[in-house]
Amino acid sequence: MFNNKFIQTFKLLVMRKLTLLVMLFFAIATFGQLETTKKQQDIAAIKAMCGCYEVTFKYTETFAPEIDYEKHLDYTSGALEWAELIEDSNNKLSIQHLLLVRDTMVIKHWRQDWEYENQEVFYYDKDNNWKFSTLPKESVEGQWTQKVFQVDDSPRYSGSATWIHADGKHYWENKTDSPLPRREYTKRKDYNVMKRGNRQEITSTGWVHEQDNDKIIREDNQEDVLLAQEKGYNVYTKVADEKCKPAKDWWVSNNKFWGKVRNSWDNVYDRTGDLTLLKSVDKEPLFMHFYKLEKENAKPREINKLIKNFVADKSVSNVKSK
Amino acid sequence: MLKVNRKLSILGLLIIATLLISFSIKEIDPRLQKKIDTAILATYEVESKVLKNVIIPAEINDETPASLLENSFFEIYSNEIKIGYLYLGEAPSMKRKFDYIVLFNTDLTIKKSKVLIYREDHGKQIGSQRWLKQFIGLSTDDQPTYGESIDAISGATISASSMTKAMANVLKSVKILKEKQVLKIE
């Protein structure tokens, strides 16, 4: 009698535990699947920015806290742009943008790297100085870091956020500090930091890069001063890849050289703390020096040497190895 | 007793001197000064400038509708060449006062006017050059009138009419300075 009751209770307990175990297994599997699906959606959104695009660039100053600030003229421009996926690994995608001017002239433009749950970032401070740091693991869960680089693959800005796929929309938003944009780099001296509000949304016709930027005056040991705000609206409309053929061909001819350049930069970026770059050496900015090296398809040693000439804080470089 | 009297006299003199200084010299706030400097350099497109205060005799100041006391009217020089004149004034907005400047060419026509510091949220539109540019080119013979020769601004009536009146008074005052030969036009 006692034995039967004991066996029944034991069986019941085992059954209950088994049920819980099975439920837990399904929960983990479903969650894992959801996570994979979400990550796949993210990757699809990032990759959707690749291809040939007609681009319109529009910027307008909106608000300024001081009454005597005189708004600058709007900036508008347009171009054909080829966006090539140059790296596609499990947790990193890299897109190189190339401008096509007057249908034939190709200009290497910006590059955007996307890294999943990445902890290594750089933030612009001021005076051509970036601070390299490591984010806590828990703060980047499910997020993608966008790292944006100049035409010469030197840094511009980076920021980490989650891709949102909801209500039929696919977008990524982030706010981060950056140097002055190229369109104002040589023209403006009344502010020295741009706090960029970036929003990249994939649309049915391509994608839109919307910006809400703050033009900031930053000085040591003082609070940032907001000079003016601006709205940026860059529309990328997808067109046939064939239209960008000269840019595609240019990349085939030049990608090996720029691969070496990226490798050289990776050694420089392998650090924590400051990275200060000189604005010019021998009266020329870095990208001008690269024209010559690109033409010669220079070796890594020469590329390293050039980049090293522009790094102002040599004493702190390569303090950390990955 | 004599010592105490002497000390009291010195103290009295000191107090009077301090009062005289504080009433006669109107200090320009550093923030305002910085804005004035920026406006001059940008308007005249020069890299350096020197401001020389134009001292207006009290009896002439009594005749002018705009106050021309110390630190109100200046000659502007760049590389020792006179490039224009500047009037610094304040005018009422709805509840407070705002600071503005009028920048003149050497022939005393208006080169530009700017509102530099505005102290309330309502009526800030008067700072826009889209509206202020209406004063550019006016001479001392012109008398701008709000709603007639100068466009009205909906939602900023008090400040916009106040600025127009101030500009008319500045032009009238500068005309008097010219007539009294305080200012000699080259």
Between CA A287 and CA A275 the distance in angstroms is 18
- A70 contacts B115? CB cut-off 8 A: no
Cβ neighbours of A184 (radius 10 Å) = 18
Residue B59 belongs to some domain of the structure: yes
Residue B103 belongs to some domain of the structure: yes
- Determine the 3-state secondary structure of A31 from DSSP: helix
State whether residue B129 sits within 8 Å of chain A by CB: yes
Please tell me the total count of domains within chain B.
1
- Which of A291, A316, A273 lies closest to A122, judged by CA? A273
Containing structural domain, residue B50: 26-179
What DSSP string runs through A77-115?
EEEEEEEEEEEEETTEEEEEEEEEETTTEEEEEEEEEEE
Residue B20 belongs to some domain of the structure: no
pLDDT tens for B90-116 read 999 999 999 999 999 999 999 999 999
User: What residues form DSSP beta bridges with A88?
Assistant: A93
The minimum CA-CA distance between A101 and chain B, rounded to whole Å, is 34
Task: Tally C-beta pairs within 8 A across A and B.
Answer: 18
Token pair recorded at residue A310:
């522009």
Between CA A248 and CA A51 the distance in angstroms is 10
- A68 contacts B35? CB cut-off 8 A: yes
Residue B186 belongs to some domain of the structure: no
* Gyration radius of chain A's alpha carbons: 25
pLDDT for position A112: 98
* Angle, helix A300-310 to helix A245-269, in steps of 10 degrees: 60
Residue B3 belongs to some domain of the structure: no
pLDDT for position B27: 81
State whether residue B84 sits within 8 Å of chain A by CB: no
Question: Above 0.90 for ipTM, yes or no?
Answer: no
B127 interaction partners in chain A (CB closer than 8 Å): 67-68
Token pair recorded at residue B61:
């100041």
Q: Starting from the edge strand earliest in sequence, which strands make up the sheet with A105-116, in order?
A: A155-161, A144-149, A105-116, A92-101, A75-89, A51-61, A225-239, A206-217, A193-203, A169-178, A164-166
- B129 contacts A67? CB cut-off 8 A: no
Among B35, B43, B97, the strongest candidate for a mutation testing the A interface, having the largest count of A CBs within 10 A, is: B35
Confidence of residue B141 (pLDDT cuts 50, 70, 90): very high
Which residue on chain A is closest to B31 by alpha carbon? A66
Cβ neighbours of B29 (radius 10 Å) = 10
A67 interaction partners in chain B (CB closer than 8 Å): 98, 115-118, 124, 127
Residue B4 belongs to some domain of the structure: no
Q: What 8-state DSSP symbol labels residue B126? A: G
pLDDT for position A319: 41
Residue type, position B51, single letter: L
Between CA A237 and CA B7 the distance in angstroms is 86
Per-residue pLDDT of chain A (322 residues; tens, 9 = 90+): 556 666 777 676 766 776 666 565 555 555 555 566 999 999 999 999 999 999 999 999 999 999 999 999 999 999 999 999 999 999 999 999 999 998 889 999 999 999 999 999 999 999 999 999 999 999 999 999 999 999 999 999 999 999 999 999 999 999 999 999 999 988 999 999 999 999 999 999 999 999 999 999 999 999 999 999 999 999 999 999 999 999 999 999 999 999 999 999 999 999 999 999 999 999 999 999 999 999 999 999 999 999 999 999 754 444 443 3
Spatial neighbors of B91 by CB under 8 A, at least 6 apart, are: B97, B98, B100, B162, B163, B165, B166
B98 interaction partners in chain A (CB closer than 8 Å): 67
pLDDT for position A218: 98
Among A67, A191, A225, the strongest candidate for a mutation testing the B interface, having the largest count of B CBs within 10 A, is: A67
Q: What 8-state DSSP symbol labels residue A210? A: E
- A67 contacts B39? CB cut-off 8 A: no
